Structures are given as C-alpha cells and as structure tokens.
Amino acid sequence: MIYLDNAATTYPKPKEVYDALDFAQRNLSFNAGRGTYKKSQECLQVLDDLRKEIASICRADYRDVALLSSATEALNIIINGIDWKDGMNVYVTPFEHNAIIRPLYNIKKTVNLNIHILPFDKETWEPELSKIENMFALDNPDVVFSSQISNVTGLLIDYSAVFELAKKHNSVTVLDAAQGYGIVELSTKNVDFIVFAGHKSLYGPFGVGGFINLNDSKLKIAKSGGTGSDTLNHDMPDFKHERYESGSPNVPAVYGTLEGIKWLKNNNVKEHEIKLTKYLIDSLESLEKVGVYAPVDKSKMFGIVSISVDGYSADEIGHILADEFDICIRTGYHCAPLIHEFINSTINGGTARISISGFSTKEDIDSLIDALSTF
C-alpha cells in the first residue's frame, strides 16, 4: 500500500509513537489529577508536558494551551464561545474547512452574522490586500479566520498580511494550523487563537487537538463538565486552559503526541516535504492529462497537491488508484466547501488530493506517476 492521504491523518506514525501509546495504555491510563495517588498525579504531569511542548513551538505560555479531543472540537469551542451579536462581520478565506464554516453557519441560524469571503487573486493566490482593506473599512471585521496551509491545495496562506489589516479594527483572529503546526514555522503576530491537531502534523494518534489562546482572551463557555476541581461551583474554573477543558483527559493519546513532537525535533520533516512537494509537482506536470491546482508560484505549496485528470471525475481517479494500484489518495471536496468555486473543481466532483508526510519517498511519487500515466 502506498499511502498519500497524510492531510487526512499522517500514516505511519513514528515507531516511538506506537510504542509510547502501547506503554501508556497499559501503564498511564488513569484519570489525571482526579486522585490523590501517584499515578493520577503522574498523568497530570503528562498533560502539562504536552502543553509545554505545544506552547514552545510558538513561544506561548503553556497555561494558555487547552488540550481537547480534536481540532474540530477546539474550533467549535472557540466559535461557539465568541459573544456574537446581530450584524457582526466575520471574514473567512476561501480555503477554510467545514470545522469553521459549519459552526459559523450554525450560529447564523440564530444571530444575524455577515459572513464574508476574503478575496484572493486567482493567479497568485495571494490575498487581495487593497480590496480587503476596503472591505474591512466598510464592514469592520469582528472575527477573521484563516488556515496556515490549505488542506485542499497545500497553499501556504499569507494570513499574516490579512490579520495585520484585521487588527487595525481590533478584530479577533483565529489561525487554523491543523495542517502545519510543529512543521512549518508560523508568526503569532496579530494572532489570537491557534488551533492544532495532534494526529496530523504532530504525528500523534487520534484523540488530541486543541487551541492556544495567545492573548488569554475570555471565551464564553461552550462545553463544560467535571474538572476534578472546584466541584461545588456550578461554573467552570476561571483559570486559563482549565476554563475550556472538561471530562476525563485522554492521557495515553497525549503521551503518544509527546513522542510525535520529540520525533519531529529529530527529523527535518519540513525540508523533506519541501523537496518532495517540488518533485511531486514537477512529476505531475510531465503528465499530459493531469492538471495541477496551483498558484503561479508553486513554491508556496507545501505537502499537499490537488489534481484533475482529463476525462475522469475526482472519485474515479481515487477508485482506480486504490483498486488497481493500491495507492491511497483522497478525492472529493475534502470538507472545504468554498475552495472549489475558487479553483473551479466542482465540475469534477472536487479534486484528487495527494498529500505526503515525513515518511513519504520519491519511490511513492514515482509509483503514483506511473499509475497516473496509464490513465
């Protein structure tokens, strides 16, 4: 099996992650901090260890790292925690995921939000800053969302330029870094919240995601429950990450994610992916029937490449690659509802997406190219 669906979840994980998970399931599967005994306190320490690692990646305060079950949960807690009022203006890039779009449209059922799509240039895929400046002046931004990396096209989105304009209007800014956190450096300037996913760029297992609340903003409570603390108080505790974390923490998954981050530190995954992404794009462009969804400057793409093949729908491409060549890619809309109009891929039922990881090889790409050349 050749696995090229790493944007969905990285596979394989480093061996150390599997071993750590197995160890932790057998030895660290206790209710963190809820007991007076040693193992419970040890588990609490594991959670703080991950908070510190996550925080150090962007030089944040570890107490501002909320550990949750997924990036989707994190985005829901942020979006449902904002104090929305009728007439507020929300801006999203055309690259955003349904973990942002659906919660926003859900809010819109009861609050009259204006949801605007930020204009991006169709050639360069850069944000059209002067247009955005005018939009912001006309309809002052209250909250602005951007991904770090598009999960469909691999574009490194220039969120910094957009957030800089947004902050002139004191907008809240949310960066969805699910595809790159821990691999591609990011600027935290003008960013309020960063969302991460353990099972993607951090090479951990399913079960860990969260957000970094860089400016310790106070969200309304969107999820609450037992915290093992201040039990007689019907409110959640008010301190930093504790305000957003309820229920039994998934300690083994956290322990595994720590190993994923350790592995990332010892391997230059970024360089590997930059080289392999270039090799992938160059190879794809040698195929006559293949079209690559890309901006003019392809060095802005990282790890993910979406393609079309003349005469085939996206799903057909995926099925043929899977059934005849045992190559795993993902096809369709990739939970990103807005981008397909921008790249004009709805006509094909979305795109065929190839996504690599630190474990992908030139041989994987060559096999894919060989397979696609038979189309």
Q: How far is the CB of 3 from its own copies (least distance, A)?
A: 8
Residues 220 and 81: beta-carbon distance below 8 Å = yes
Joined tokens for residue 251: 């300690």
Measured from the CB atom, the residue of 12 and 87 that comes closer to its own copies is: 12
Q: How far is the CB of 341 from its own copies (least distance, A)?
A: 9
Q: How far is the CB of 316 from its own copies (least distance, A)?
A: 9
Query: What is the 8-class DSSP label of residue 3?
Result: E
**Beta-carbon neighbour count of residue 63 at 10 Å?**
16
Measured from the CB atom, the residue of 73 and 142 that comes closer to its own copies is: 73
**How many residues does this entry show for the chain?**
375
CA atoms within 13 A of residue 80's CA, in its CB half-sphere: 15
Instruction: For residues 200 and 206, give the distance between their C-alpha atoms in angstroms, rounded to a whole number.
Output: 9
Q: How far is the CB of 61 from its own copies (least distance, A)?
A: 25
Q: How far is the CB of 36 from its own copies (least distance, A)?
A: 4
C-alpha torsion sign, points 231, 232, 233, 235:
positive
CA atoms within 13 A of residue 15's CA, in its CB half-sphere: 0
Instruction: For residues 186 and 64, give the distance between their C-alpha atoms in angstroms, rounded to a whole number.
Output: 17
Residues 350 and 333: beta-carbon distance below 8 Å = yes
Q: How far is the CB of 163 from its own copies (least distance, A)?
A: 22
Measured from the CB atom, the residue of 126 and 315 that comes closer to its own copies is: 315
Q: How far is the CB of 16 from its own copies (least distance, A)?
A: 12
Measured from the CB atom, the residue of 54 and 92 that comes closer to its own copies is: 92
**Beta-carbon neighbour count of residue 359 at 10 Å?**
17
Measured from the CB atom, the residue of 105 and 288 that comes closer to its own copies is: 105
Quick check: helix, strand or coil at residue 301?
strand
Q: How far is the CB of 222 from its own copies (least distance, A)?
A: 7
Measured from the CB atom, the residue of 27 and 299 that comes closer to its own copies is: 27
Instruction: For residues 17 and 304, give the distance between their C-alpha atoms in angstroms, rounded to a whole number.
Output: 23
Instruction: For residues 172 and 44, give the distance between their C-alpha atoms in angstroms, rounded to a whole number.
Output: 31
Measured from the CB atom, the residue of 1 and 138 that comes closer to its own copies is: 1
Instruction: For residues 162 and 95, give the distance between their C-alpha atoms in angstroms, rounded to a whole number.
Output: 14
Instruction: For residues 80 and 215, give the distance between their C-alpha atoms in angstroms, rounded to a whole number.
Output: 18
C-alpha torsion sign, points 129, 130, 133, 138:
negative
Measured from the CB atom, the residue of 132 and 254 that comes closer to its own copies is: 254
